[in-house]
């Protein structure tokens, strides 16, 4: 299984390391050709404004939208969630999300870095210990559409969601040292 990690900017290396540990062939995606051969895609955290601009300059915006809309299993974290959302609140006026997830997210909704936090999460379908939730200047999911399934919450807000074959987290499973979410996503959406 070949898994792409969007590597324009942000914590792409951490996703790649988790995928390596799970025995996947992980490749970094910076230009459109690299997107063609992947069986699944991770969109990392980082700065969503920067990633948005680099999606345009790299020519990845259209092919990425096409592949994800066409059913490519995709897991987006933090800034990745903002990139896929249908509505972005408190973003920049020129921030143009891909509208592939029926959610409204508020950028930095949990506050500035001094308010960034860790909290254990209960995740639907994950057995054993709670999942370590690492929230870094995280977006808040303020609204989610009918087709969106909530897999974990914090403070009454969804923090892990699924819509079709797209998963998205407002936190960072790749920074937690816990492989279970990556593993479960791949088992459920790719291996099946």
Kindly list the distances between the CA atom of residue 39 and the CA atoms of 1, 103, 122, 136, in Å, as whole numbers in the listed order: 6, 25, 28, 28
Q: Smallest distance, Å, CB 138 to another protein?
A: 10
Burial 32-49 (b: 16+ CB within 10 A, else e): eebbeebbbbbbbbbebb
Segment interacting with another protein, rule: CB under 8 A, options 19-27, 34-42, 133-141, 162-170:
133-141
Q: Smallest distance, Å, CB 139 to another protein?
A: 11
Query: For another protein, which is the closer residue by CB, 174 or 189?
Result: 174
Q: By CB under 8 A, name the one of 153, 179, 180, 184 that touches another protein.
A: 153
**Could you give the CA distance from residue 2 to residue 36 in angstroms, rounded to a whole number?**
11
Q: By rule CB under 8 A, what string of x and - marks binding of each residue 87-106 to another protein?
A: ---xxx--------------
**Could you give the CA distance from residue 133 to residue 170 in angstroms, rounded to a whole number?**
9
Segment interacting with another protein, rule: CB under 8 A, options 18-26, 34-42, 128-136, 161-169:
128-136
Catalytic residue among 78, 154, 182, 189: 78
Q: Which two tokens stand for residue 58?
A: 């790299």
Q: Under the phi-then-psi rule, with left for phi > 0, alpha for psi from -120 to 50, and beta for the rest, what region is 124?
A: beta
**Could you give the CA distance from residue 125 to residue 127 in angstroms, rounded to a whole number?**
6
Strand duo 2-6 + 40-43: pairing: parallel
Size of the site for another protein (CB under 8 A): 58
Q: Smallest distance, Å, CB 71 to another protein?
A: 26
Q: By CB under 8 A, name the one of 63, 118, 180, 190 that touches another protein.
A: 118
Q: By CB under 8 A, name the one of 124, 147, 187, 191 that touches another protein.
A: 124
In 3D space, the residue among 147, 170, 172, 173 whose CA is nearest the CA of residue 160 turns out to be 170
Q: Which positions touch another protein (CB under 8 A)?
A: 7-14, 30-31, 45-47, 49-50, 53-54, 57-58, 78-79, 90-92, 107-124, 130, 133-137, 150-156, 159, 172, 175
Which residues have a catalytic role annotated?
78, 172, 174
């Amino acid at each position: 299984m070949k898994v792409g990690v969007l590597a324009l900017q942000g914590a792409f290396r951490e996703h790649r390391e988790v995928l390596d540990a799970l025995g996947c062939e992980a490749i970094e995606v910076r230009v459109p050709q690299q997107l063609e051969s992947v069986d699944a895609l991770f969109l990392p955290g980082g700065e969503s404004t920067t990633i948005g601009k680099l999606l345009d300059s790299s020519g990845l915006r259209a092919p990425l939208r096409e592949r994800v809309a066409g059913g490519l299993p995709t897991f987006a974290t933090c800034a990745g969630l903002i990139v896929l959302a249908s509505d972005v609140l408190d973003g920049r006026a020129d921030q143009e999300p891909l509208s592939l997830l029926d959610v409204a997210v508020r950028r930095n909704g949990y506050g500035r870095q001094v308010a960034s936090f860790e909290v254990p999460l209960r995740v639907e379908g994950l057995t054993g210990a709670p999942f370590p939730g690492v929230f870094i200047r995280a977006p808040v999911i303020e609204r989610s559409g009918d087709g969106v399934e909530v897999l974990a919450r914090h403070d009454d807000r969804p923090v892990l969601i699924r819509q079709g074959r797209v998963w998205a987290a407002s936190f960072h499973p790749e920074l937690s040292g816990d492989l279970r979410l990556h593993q479960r996503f791949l088992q459920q959406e790719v291996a099946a």
